[in-house]
Amino acid sequence: MASGVGSLAAIGAVTDPRLSVSGEAPDPTSLPRGVLQKLHDPSVTLEEYMHYAKITRDEEERLYGPGSDFQATDGPTAAFIKEKILRKRATRRTSIAVPRLSVSAQGEAQIQRPVESGNDSGNEKTGHEKKKFQPMVISDEEWIQASRAARTATWAAVFYLITTDILGPFSTGYAFSQMGLGPGVALFTVFGALGGYTGWQLWRMYLQLDSDRYPLKGYGDIAFRVYGPWFRHTVNFVQSFQFFLNVTLLILSNGQSISELSKSNLCFIVCMVICTIAGCVVGQIRTLQRFGWLASWAVYLNLFVIFATMGVMAHSDPNYKVYAASHPTFDINNPDPIKVSGSTPPGLSIADNVNGLMNAVFSFGGATLFVELMAEMRRPFDFWKGLLAADVLIYLCYMVYGVYTYCMQGQYVYNPSYQGISPYSWQTVGNSLELITGIIAAVLYGNIGIKVLYNNLGRDLLSFPILESKGGKWIFAIIVPIYWVLAWIIAQSVPQISSWISVVGAGCILQFSYTFPPFMMLGFKIQRDAILPQETFDPATGQVQHVDSGFKRWWRGFKKELLVNSFDVIFYLGSCVTCVLGLYAGFKTMVDAYNGSTNLTAWRCESPTG
């Protein structure tokens, strides 16, 4: 999985010509529906989402499509130029000032607009001449402009971010050692292709459901618009749980790096405590933008470690010491020769094979953040370019690196691979660089996970104040150490990286990359294709009258693309079966560890790296 997640804020950003400041104050009419209604209103129909999505896509095509005269410029430079222009306008129009956005105690957005300072005698009569700002309703134009403000990323930025998020093939060699060359190549190819297919499904749903009026901000928003609140809560829970387990896994891998850097002289519990304390401190930063420039280096650091370990493996033996730490019966003084199997390696159980398969799932599991990436794109239609380029690069990198490390080290390949090389100097290089990217990734995943919990659990169920308020900031500051300490306790209780990869891959990543997309696509297309010509949406009232309902309507929508929908049903059921197998394999490996089959048991001071 990823070694780091970047921020789109400073990568590939461009100014948006739709964001303009008019010289005249907007029409102070009633609040638009996007503000008046709850953020997730079940009364809004699928037809309404699709209606405004088409309007938004047409506007994007007009501005950014073939024949448009829009020229992308560098984000910071363009922002500076725009600021200078706005200042000039402000000096020319003394009676007009730039509005300010404020948030009330109830969490409702308001525009605070300066009162004009011209020859308005009304102010003298009413006694408001000293009042600097007055609350004013937000017009539809301002609301649409605000929803467009973050849409600045290009498809090249998306390619970079997907690659940065997913590229980290240090478990692929271990996956091949558990499956063999033939099954490994086949399964990595199949899961790579299916990962591209489900990414395409998310992209198609996004284009037809996202709009300036009703912007999609996260994975759970698509789930809500297709199936309703119950599925949104399910997706948000699994998403936050995945980020929590990712933090747990990164604490464990970073602890192993520190332990190996200390030549196993530092108690492993202390190594993991160091990572946890670092996360508690750095995790207090609430905005991810400050991590963007640093996280963007993760891909380069990963590529360097990849090429370095490949070179070292060609000229040195495997790290038998680290292998012996997880295999009590292994004789380090008389190791067996390296063996590479073209088919399933002998002596392995079905749980071992499935654990290897879950590493393939873990490798291609980046769909969790695809919706967030599309939400920041200037032209979401171009997402497929970044997705395709990233998938091809990642597949080739994983395939070459996984096959190479398995052929070089055979059954002794370690997870992560940079800890399985024998020269200590190169172990130090790999551990040091991956420790940096690992801490960044852990903080980022923790930050996102806490925000998902806060906004969906705290705000919806516990009536927490908005995160930007003073109370919200204090609650966030308290949650961060609790979150990290819980992750540390779980990691310390079950210190087996491969088992955690299997559990996280099967229980969470598999769902976002392979289970949820076909399930949501089925629900979306059945509803969309069941719409009859006479069932038109009325934008004035927001109403649409359905002719029928129930199974008859569902079947009409399903059979319109019968073959594709049937494939998605089979795909969905197969993904569910794979989920059950992966969870079984992961938990069985953990149970076996507690029964003494490995040295990686809970709360041991001894290092798992030997």
Separation CA 419–CA 427 (nearest Å): 6
The sign of the CA dihedral 386, 387, 393, 398 is positive
- Taking alpha carbons only, the member of 186, 216, 260, 195 closest to residue 392 is 195
For the chain, 610 residues long, the average pLDDT of each consecutive 10-residue run is 42 39 36 49 89 88 68 42 42 38 41 43 45 44 53 70 68 87 89 90 93 86 92 88 83 83 82 86 66 64 87 90 77 84 83 79 74 81 87 86 91 86 88 80 76 76 77 85 88 74 80 93 95 88 85 93 95 92 81 63 68
> Residues 266-283, buried b or exposed e (16+ Cβ, 10 A)?
bebbebbbebbebbbebb
pLDDT score at 111: 40
pLDDT score at 9: 40
User: How do beta strands 133-136 and 100-103 pair?
Assistant: unpaired
- Residue 443's Cβ-count burial label (10 Å; 0-12, 13-18, 19+) is buried
* Both tokens assigned to 297: 């280096």
* Both tokens assigned to 226: 């297709």
Q: What is the 3-state secondary structure (H, E, C) of 72-98?
A: CCCHHHHHHHHHHHHHHHHHHCCCCCC
Number of other CB atoms surrounding residue 51 within 10 Å: 19
Helix, strand, coil abundance in the chain, percent, nearest 5: 65, 5, 35
CATH number given to 151-596 = 1.20.1740
DSSP per-residue letters across 116-137: P-SS-HHHHHHT-TT--EEEEP
The sign of the CA dihedral 106, 108, 285, 458 is positive
Find the DSSP H helices in 93-218: 121-126, 140-148, 155-166, 172-179, 181-209
On whether the CB atoms of residues 255 and 522 are closer than 8 A, the answer is no
- Domain segments of the chain as ranges: 151-596
pLDDT score at 581: 87
Tell me the β-bridge partners of 152: none
Sequence-ordered list of residues with C-beta below 8 angstroms from that of 189, at least 6 positions apart, any chain:
395, 399
Q: What dihedral do alpha carbons 159, 161, 162, 167 form, nearest 10°? A: 110
What one-letter code names the amino acid at 99?
P
| Extended beta strands in 318-470, E state | none
On whether the CB atoms of residues 6 and 298 are closer than 8 A, the answer is yes
> Residues 375-407, buried b or exposed e (16+ Cβ, 10 A)?
bbbbbbbbbbebbebbbeebbebbbebbbbbbe
Separation CA 513–CA 515 (nearest Å): 6
pLDDT score at 301: 81
Separation CA 246–CA 166 (nearest Å): 13
The CA-CA-CA angle for residues 150, 294, 243, to 5°, reads 70
pTM greater than 0.95? no
Measured in residues, the chain has a length of: 610
Sequence-ordered list of residues with C-beta below 8 angstroms from that of 38, at least 6 positions apart, any chain:
none
- Residue 39's Cβ-count burial label (10 Å; 0-12, 13-18, 19+) is middle
- Taking alpha carbons only, the member of 592, 608, 578 closest to residue 353 is 578
pLDDT score at 291: 55
Name the phi and psi angles at 31, rounded to 5.
-60, 140
pLDDT score at 433: 86
On whether the CB atoms of residues 32 and 213 are closer than 8 A, the answer is yes
Which residue in this structure is represented by tokens 């994975």? 219
